[in-house]
Amino acid sequence: MSTSERENKINQKKTYLKAMALQSLADVEVIKHELKLGNIIILKITPLARKSIEDVKKAVNEISVFTQSIEGDIASLGKERVVIVPDSLRIWRPETIVSKKAPTAA
């Protein structure tokens, strides 16, 4: 490995996949910071949901607005978790199948 290759490897920042629990509204700032660093978050929302559904709605809305502002992506993983990714990634979603009417003979 050449010196320039080693320097490039050292300068590359790593992306981490972090599992976090949403305990309070204060955790929103920590999540935003992690996204700014380019990390991927799997967020368990049930700890806060046990305390206040309204706070969960506020937190998820604030995280969603922030994620859109940095051109990241957010999606639910069932009822208990949300995945949030920075701008360098996209979350794949299957296309919604729209039922089409069968053609009729004219």
Q: 24 pLDDT band (50/70/90 cuts)?
A: very high
What is the domain partition of the chain in residue ranges?
A: 13-85
Average pLDDT over residues 12-24: 94
Average pLDDT over residues 26-41: 97
Tell me: pLDDT of 55 over 60.
yes
13-85, superfamily in CATH?
Answer: SepF-like protein (3.30.110.150)
DSSP, collapsed to helix, strand or coil, labels residue 66 as helix
DSSP, collapsed to helix, strand or coil, labels residue 65 as helix
